[in-house]
Chain A
């Protein structure tokens, strides 16, 4: 091994989780979300991304592009770097190396987590994390896109238009009858849908969905597949999933990750015939 992983200190980070120069740039920037420019039909550019944890390379020169309106499935064995990739896109983890752009103009590596959300990237976590002590309606209200600064929110009143939007999302995710129930009392599947609903309230351009059907009943899985398919088109959706049947039922294009880089990419049937993929993943 000739390369040593660059330490955080080496890249000028990082008291607050990001380099000082970027910290300064961040000041007072929670006003209005910057405009997303997708004139080249690509919404996400990840190029040459490397992330190491104590020398272990979770991502190794990963390069990946997501098109506008695309529904992409990411598969790969445990430890392939799927979750780390999501962390990089959402600003939770800063890469040692590489670049990440949202559209033509937004440098994700220079943005804070809330800024990335405001710009239009929404993430659904593996475990459903809804606000248990808030009602379904309040969960969606919390997630609603808009100015989220303290003073504005303190005096905010729910307008008719906003109420309508919440109703519409409730309908989309099928939780109309649970509107005023506490989110904590929902079933596992309902929580997952509520969380997708919360993502929709943010009006994201890019939706990151981490293992949406883990622990779901077959009926719930089917319902989720329909939901995700209906979401793509208007926005881009990236789904990380283990369940191959589920992937087959929704995906047109699949990316296989292995040891932090892309092993194969293409239509599901083609990928499944790829001998390398069979070896590392499907043929286990």
Chain B
């Protein structure tokens, strides 16, 4: 089958993308069916816990795609991308907190529990508006986007590159983590935001709501992936890859490298924010731990394991590594971090193109 539209060819032109879209679509149909359509006693029934777990993986995959866009395509190794993920998550968390209303432990109609506990009398100004879903959604996009834009403006214009940039991104997310740990910040400090009741009027604990969130995460991943791929195959995508391969050369043929980096970085941060916002209602909590520098490094490992510079590789990586994490942290909790480190070393040494690269190699050999 040949598609006639050039856009279709660009988006579905490569094998990996076709597999990605097919699997995602299959997942979005089969998982809800097995959860809602099959009785709980049946062996085929998929528990709501599993649905939520898969939904969480989908948000991770979206984040991995966002990181691949800047790392695989532009060579910007961000070790602080969870900062944007967590900011999107906090924006969503604030909306969910305001939806609790009088159902909190203290029953205060306006103030979230932790503020009552801290003896605060009124809602801080930056919590205003978060009772509206539309405003919260806007903040999900704006908060990470604005931070990334400012960061990018400063870092890329000063021509900070390579390992120095990576270190600054680590510092950024670490600083945010420390800030959000403080009770005075008004984001629930240590405990973060939790005890959510409903989202858009739906009970957050219902299986059907979980399915809705799962599907929403899948759609977000599909759209985010498509957007990244559209950028990657555009002329701007070729400029970005040229920047990755020979930055000063690109500057010399007349491109404002810093602007390209800044916009790409901002777009990637917004995608991460969306991923974070979908993650929070599924796991039911957002706390400063999400800003942890280790988390950001984990994302980079997903991308490396899956195979960077492909966009679909990182999706695979996010699923494989997190599946292993879910399994290992339950079965052999003390082993996980060692396994993760070993995985990274093995991939770096033997699989520079990740799993996807290995598969490609094997296919070529068989031919």
Interface residue ranges, A against B (CB under 8 Å): 15-16, 30, 90, 113-114, 117-118, 123, 125, 129, 131-134, 138, 141-143, 145, 148-150, 153-156, 158, 198, 202
Contacts and interface: CB of A to CB of B under 8 A. Distances in A.
Interface in B210-241: 231, 234-236, 238-239, 241
**What bracket does the count of chain B residues touching chain A fall in?**
20 to 34
Contact of B254 (A16, A148, A156): A148
A239 B245 CA distance: 26
Contacts of B256: 30, 114, 148-150
17 contacts: A16-B157, A113-B251, A114-B251, A114-B256, A123-B252, A133-B241, A134-B238, A138-B238, A141-B238, A148-B239, A149-B259, A150-B260, A156-B235, A156-B236, A158-B235, A198-B253, A202-B253
A156 B231 CA distance: 11
Interface string B253-266: 11110011001000
Contact of A142 (B242, B259, B260): B242
Contacts of B236: 150, 153-154, 156
Interface in B157-173: 157-158
B26 interface: no
Question: What 6 pairs across the A-B complex have the smallest Cβ distances?
Answer: A117-B254, A154-B236, A153-B236, A156-B235, A129-B249, A143-B253
B185 interface: no
B231 A118 contact: no
A28 to B, nearest CB: 11
Contacts of A15: 158
Given A153-B236, A154-B236, A131 B246 contact: yes
Contacts of A145: 254
Nearest to A17: B159
A148 B254 CA distance: 7
A150 B262 CA distance: 10
A113 B235 CA distance: 21
Contacts of B245: 131-134
A253 B157 CA distance: 41
A114 B157 CA distance: 14
A156 B236 CA distance: 8
Contacts, number: 70
Contacts of A113: 251-252
Given A16-B158, A154-B234, A131 B254 contact: no
A16 B157 CA distance: 8
Nearest to B264: A150
B238 A154 contact: no
Contacts of A118: 254
A129 B246 contact: yes
B238 A142 contact: yes
Contacts of A131: 241-242, 245-246, 249
Interface string B70-109: 0000000000000000000000000000000000000000
Contact of B235 (A30, A132, A154, A202): A154
Contacts of B250: 142
A195 B254 CA distance: 14
Contacts of B235: 141, 153-154, 156, 158
Which of A117, A141, A153 has the most chain B CB atoms inside 10 A of its CB? A153
B158 to A, nearest CB: 7
Given A131-B245, A131-B246, A153 B239 contact: yes
Nearest to B241: A133
Given A114-B254, A114-B256, A149-B259, A155 B157 contact: no
Contacts of A154: 231, 234-236
Contact of A155 (B234, B242, B260): B234
B241 A134 contact: yes
Given A131-B246, A142-B242, A148 B234 contact: no
A117 B238 CA distance: 19
